[in-house]
Amino acid sequence: MIDYFTFDERLGIHVPDLMLEWDKYCKETQQFILLNWERVRGTIPDRIAELEQEINHKQAKLSDESDFPRSCKLNTEIADLASIINDLWLYYRADQTISTKVHQ
């Protein structure tokens, strides 16, 4: 898996890191990549749930925060976490395109 994926610190998951175009890989390698991607992909909803909990925690802090600079910092942190969630959903849905290519 190391050859085809790298760990993305921001997202907290391994993401595909393909050096060739998809069609340049043999069918066995494509299947290997897809199998490993399905394993990674299966962890994405749990990762999103973790981030949502962080957002909820920060929102609770924000509702009690009276210091404006601290409120701004919390808002920025919440926006960053929401951005990560959005990117994770994009990766979660990316499987449909790859799977279609393999089965053609």
CA distances from 71 to 45, 51, 60, 62, 102 (A): 28, 19, 11, 6, 48
- Using pLDDT thresholds of 50, 70 and 90, give the confidence band for residue 100: very low
Please give the model's pTM, rounded to 2 decimal places. 0.83
What is the token pair recorded at 55? Answer: 């957002």
What pLDDT shows up at residue 26? 94
What pLDDT shows up at residue 95? 59
Q: Which pLDDT tens digit goes with each residue over 8-40?
A: 999 999 999 999 999 999 999 999 999 999 999
Distance between CA atoms of 16 and 4, rounded to whole angstroms?
A: 6
- Using pLDDT thresholds of 50, 70 and 90, give the confidence band for residue 96: low
